[in-house]
Structure formats: C-alpha cells, structure tokens
C-alpha cells in the first residue's frame, strides 16, 4: 500500500533522479488503478484514497517536468547537486504523507519532512547573503508555525482524546457537541496551515523567501510544495472543519482570509520591479484562489483543486524555468525577448496567460471550477465577484511581462538555450493548452 514512501535518496544525478521519478510515477498510477505492490499495516494512520493518488501523480509529474527542465540549473546552483536531489526526494516523501495522512501526527510529520529540506534548499546559495537571510527567516517563521501547529494538535487531542482525523463524536461523551479545546486547536492548526500555503495575513515570509532562494528552488517551493500544503489543508477541512461547522463559522473566516489574501497578493504584485518578486506575490494571489476550494469542500472543489494545482504548477514551473535562464530578473531584463528567443517568449506567454486564467489555457478552467465551487454554496456570491475582479487585476501584472517581451525594445540576455530545453517548454505549453481546450480529458480521471 505504501509504495510512495520509497525514498530514493541515492539520486546522485539528475538522470537518476528523473528515472526514479518516472518509476514512482508509473508505480503510483498503477496503484491508482488498484495494483498493489506491497502492503503495510499503518494502523489507520495513513489512508490512501483516489484523491491522494491523483494528487501524487500530479506532484510526481510536475516534479518530473521540473527536474527535466531545470535539472541542470539545480546542479549549477551549488556544490552538492546530489544532496539537492536527495532533499527534493525528501520533500516528495513528505508530500506523499500529506496526501494520505489520516492522523494529526502524520500531518505534523509530513509537514516537517516537507519543510526541513526546504529550509536547506532556500539557503543553498551559501555565498549569497540574500539566500542565507531567506533561509534563516524561513526557518524561524517555519518554526513559529510549527509551534502553533503542535499547540493546535495538542489542544485538539485534549478536546477529543484522539489524534485520528475522523472523530467518533460519541466517544467524547462528557461534553455535548464540540469541545472548546478542539475549536481552539483547530484554529491554531488552521493558522499554521494558512502559514504554509502563504495565505494573508500569514504570508509575510513568502516574498522574502521566494525572492531570496535560488530561482530553481523557488520554482519547486512555489508550485509542488504549496500544492501539497493545500491538499493537506483540504483534507483537514473536509473532515474536521465540516464536522465543526456548527461551532465555527468557517465560511466567514475563509471568506475574510481569501479576500485579504487576494488583496495583498494582487495589489502588491502590480508594482513590483523584479519578475521573480512579482511571481512571489502572484503565488500569494494564486493561493487566494486555491483557498476557494477550502471555502466549501465538495467534489467540485476537490476536482477543481486538483485541476488548479496541475495548471498552476505546470505554468509556474515553465515560467521559472525561463526565469532561471534570464540574466536579469527585472522586467527590463525581459525587454525584447521575443526577438532574441521567440520560442521562449511564446511559451512564456502561454504560461502567463494560463496563470491569468485566459480561456483556452488550463488556468481558465481551473479558476472556473474554483468559482463554481463557491457558487454552488448559494451564498457568498460577492466573494465570487471579488475573485473575478482580482483575476482581472492579475492580468495586469502578467501582461506586463508579455508586454516587455513583445512590445519593448531591448536586448534580453539569456544563457545558452539548448534545443531539448525548448522542446520541453513547447511540450509543457502544449499540455497547458490541451487541458484548456479539453479539460474533460483530465477531469474524467477525477471520479472519487
């Protein structure tokens, strides 16, 4: 049952890493369709369901593309290429736990296994002061949120007497309904998770860390890791928060967080000078959109979240892959890219359009499903309006890049671009457009 915890820490070079990822991906897809390899009794601590498997597939696929596209950059970013790959695999291991946890202990372990290697990866550019600073900040803020999370878990244990995600309400016995301790614990847990997905007002670490970390690792953090945090979050919401709906007005709470996140992410992204920093804020804004799925957990929301993670991860990986190749990370650095590197500019445009949610790209249907999930609740329509408005705002700063690439004169300097890199980008763009034209192809998978 748990083949997902095979940790291939021997991955010394990117080829081995890519190969390992491929094997994992195949194994995972096979298991989705019910082929078991070996079985471990996890005492109900881990529960592998279709949703988790599908997410694992997406995460693995995205990582595979990520490694294929930017593997060389990973090797270049420091002396210890092998270790970096190992750390990435550790992160993946944490992600698998997060997609399958059924117990708060496992949630904690998963988050930690996922986070600790990231602290290291953030600081991997040791001679760069910014990278070091980012790593330290990330670590301290992360430790703070871990503290909150532990406190939350402890309080919840106090309230319910179990670590299991699903609580037998009858066994609480002594108190009618939901215990006060459980509510407080849940709130703390929620804060910690909001911190991990960089929802406002717990987003402060994000721009600094994403900006400071080497761009290759930012790419990984901003996409796959964030998506995993969301999957963990939605599982938590699905079971625990729905159960406590009577005691806490989650909807109002999430509505406020969503609005605040969208506001901060989008407005701050608008006036950035550096594309990398803009992407950091945009990832906050995108997180605001993904939070829509948590607003009201239903099948549409789950489907939508998977679609969103796929669309968002693919597009962002592509953008970062190009960003890494740029010599100058500011908007000016992109001036005239369409002249010097037409393929890069064209694919980058597709990725940006997808992030902005323009129809015929994957991002459009992703956003559509998110909003549809909220519309289904029947109330909080104003939230949908806010979401659409901010999606419109986001178009502005994504198009700034496109504008720079196509309509500004300049000489965008890039490192040497290999043919295989271009091919990879084109395939990635093709996937995004394919999902955008035929979302059903991917969605037909999603029958839980």
Residue among 45 and 315 whose Cβ is closer to other proteins: 45
Residue among 90 and 351 whose Cβ is closer to other proteins: 90
Residue among 138 and 312 whose Cβ is closer to other proteins: 138
Residue among 252 and 388 whose Cβ is closer to other proteins: 252
Output the smallest distance, CB 248 to other proteins, in A.
5
What's phi and psi for 336, nearest 5 deg? 70, 20
Residue among 97 and 432 whose Cβ is closer to other proteins: 97
Residue among 288 and 326 whose Cβ is closer to other proteins: 288
Separation between Cα atoms, residue 375 and residue 302, nearest integer Å: 14
Q: How far is CA 386 from CA 33, 263, 365, 383, 390, in A?
A: 39, 9, 18, 5, 6
Q: Which stretch binds other proteins (CB under 8 A): 28-36, 288-296, 334-342, 432-440?
A: 432-440
- Near other proteins by CB under 8 A: residue from 20, 142, 185, 207: 207
Residue 148 binding other proteins, by CB under 8 A: yes
- Near other proteins by CB under 8 A: residue from 19, 23, 32, 83: 83
- Near other proteins by CB under 8 A: residue from 1, 6, 144, 330: 144
Tally: H helices and E strands in the chain: 20, 0
Q: How many residues bind other proteins (CB under 8 A)?
A: 73
Q: Which stretch binds other proteins (CB under 8 A): 36-44, 67-75, 228-236, 410-418?
A: 36-44
Residue among 50 and 126 whose Cβ is closer to other proteins: 126
What's phi and psi for 273, nearest 5 deg? -95, -30
Q: Which residues pair with 274 in a beta bridge?
A: 330
Q: Which stretch binds other proteins (CB under 8 A): 67-75, 97-105, 213-221, 414-422?
A: 97-105
Residues between 157 and 186 with contacts to other proteins, criterion CB under 8 A: 175, 179-180, 183-184
Separation between Cα atoms, residue 318 and residue 422, nearest integer Å: 11
Residue 106 binding other proteins, by CB under 8 A: yes
Residues between 329 and 388 with contacts to other proteins, criterion CB under 8 A: 365, 372
Residue 40 binding other proteins, by CB under 8 A: yes
Output the smallest distance, CB 174 to other proteins, in A.
8
Residues between 43 and 82 with contacts to other proteins, criterion CB under 8 A: 43, 45-46, 79-80
Are the beta carbons of 257 and 346 closer than 8 angstroms?
A: no
Q: Which residues pair with 326 in a beta bridge?
A: 414
**Cα(first)–Cα(last) distance of the chain, in Å?**
18
What's phi and psi for 173, nearest 5 deg? 60, -70
Dihedral class, residue 43 (left if φ above 0, else alpha if ψ from -120 to 50, else beta): left
Residues between 252 and 281 with contacts to other proteins, criterion CB under 8 A: 252-253, 256, 263-264, 267-268, 270-271
Six-digit token string for 283: 């990832």
- Near other proteins by CB under 8 A: residue from 103, 283, 296, 316: 103
Residue 395 binding other proteins, by CB under 8 A: no
Burial of 184 (0-12, 13-18, 19+ CB in 10 A): middle
Residue among 23 and 116 whose Cβ is closer to other proteins: 116
Query: Interface mask (CB under 8 A) for other proteins, residues 109-138, using x and -?
Result: x--xx--xx-xx--xx-xx---------x-
Six-digit token string for 439: 């979302």
Residue among 71 and 304 whose Cβ is closer to other proteins: 304
Are the beta carbons of 321 and 417 closer than 8 angstroms?
A: no
Six-digit token string for 281: 């804020």
Q: Which residues are CB-contacts of 428 (< 8 A; sequence separation ≥ 6)?
A: 65, 69, 314, 317, 318, 347, 351
| String of DSSP letters for 50-117 | HHHHHHHHHHHHHHHHHHHHHHHHHHHTSS-HHHHHHHHHHHHHHHHHHHHB-BHHHHHHHHHHHHHH
Q: What is the dihedral of CA 366, 368, 370, 371, to 10 degrees?
A: 160
Residue among 83 and 328 whose Cβ is closer to other proteins: 83
Residue 7 binding other proteins, by CB under 8 A: yes
- Near other proteins by CB under 8 A: residue from 36, 49, 166, 249: 249
- Near other proteins by CB under 8 A: residue from 62, 68, 189, 191: 191
Residue 440 binding other proteins, by CB under 8 A: yes
Q: How far is CA 382 from CA 304, 390, 391, in A?
A: 20, 12, 14
Residue 147 binding other proteins, by CB under 8 A: no
Residue among 248 and 410 whose Cβ is closer to other proteins: 248
């Amino acid at each position: 049952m748990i083949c997902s915890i095979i940790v291939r820490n021997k991955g010394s070079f990117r080829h081995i890493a890519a190969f390992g990822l491929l094997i994992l991906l195949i194994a995972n897809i096979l298991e989705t369709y019910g082929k078991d390899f070996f079985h471990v009794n996890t005492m109900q601590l881990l529960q592998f369901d279709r949703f988790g498997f599908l997410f694992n597939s997406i995460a693995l696929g995205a990582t595979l593309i990520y490694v294929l596209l930017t593997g060389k950059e990973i090797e270049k970013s420091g002396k210890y290429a092998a270790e970096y790959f190992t750390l990435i695999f550790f992160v993946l291991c944490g992600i698998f736990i997060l997609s399958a946890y059924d117990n708060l202990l496992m949630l904690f372990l998963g988050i930690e296994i996922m986070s600790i290697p990231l602290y290291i990866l953030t600081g991997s550019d040791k001679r760069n002061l910014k990278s070091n600073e980012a790593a330290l900040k990330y670590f301290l803020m992360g430790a703070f949120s871990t503290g909150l999370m532990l406190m939350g878990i402890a309080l919840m244990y106090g309230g319910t007497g179990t670590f299991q995600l699903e609580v037998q309400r009858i066994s609480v016995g002594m108190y009618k309904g939901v215990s006060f301790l459980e509510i407080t614990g849940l709130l703390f847990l929620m804060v910690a998770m909001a911190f991990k997905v960089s929802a406002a007002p717990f987003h402060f670490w994000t721009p600094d860390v994403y900006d400071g970390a080497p761009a290759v690792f930012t790419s990984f953090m901003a996409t796959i890791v964030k998506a995993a945090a969301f999957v963990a979050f939605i599982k938590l919401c699905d079971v625990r928060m729905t159960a406590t709906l009577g005691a806490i007005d989650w909807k109002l709470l999430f509505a406020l967080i969503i609005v605040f996140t969208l506001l901060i992410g989008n407005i701050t992204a608008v006036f950035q000078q550096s594309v990398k920093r803009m992407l950091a804020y945009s990832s906050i804004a995108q997180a605001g959109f993904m939070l829509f799925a948590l607003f009201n957990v239903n099948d549409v929301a789950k489907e939508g979240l998977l679609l969103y993670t796929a669309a968002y991860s693919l597009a962002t990986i592509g953008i970062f892959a190009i960003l890494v190749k740029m010599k100058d990370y500011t908007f000016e650095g992109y001036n005239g890219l369409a002249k010097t590197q037409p393929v890069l500019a064209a694919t980058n445009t597709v990725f940006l359009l997808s992030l902005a949610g323009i129809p015929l790209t994957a991002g459009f249907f992703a956003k559509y499903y998110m909003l549809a999930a909220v519309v289904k609740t029947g109330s909080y329509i104003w939230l949908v309006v806010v979401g659409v408005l901010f999606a419109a705002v986001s178009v502005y700063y994504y198009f700034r890049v496109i504008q720079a690439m196509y309509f500004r004169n300049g000489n965008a300097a890039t490192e040497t671009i290999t043919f295989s890199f271009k091919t990879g980008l084109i395939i990635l763009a093709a996937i995004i457009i394919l999902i955008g034209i035929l979302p059903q192809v991917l969605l037909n998978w999603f029958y839980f």
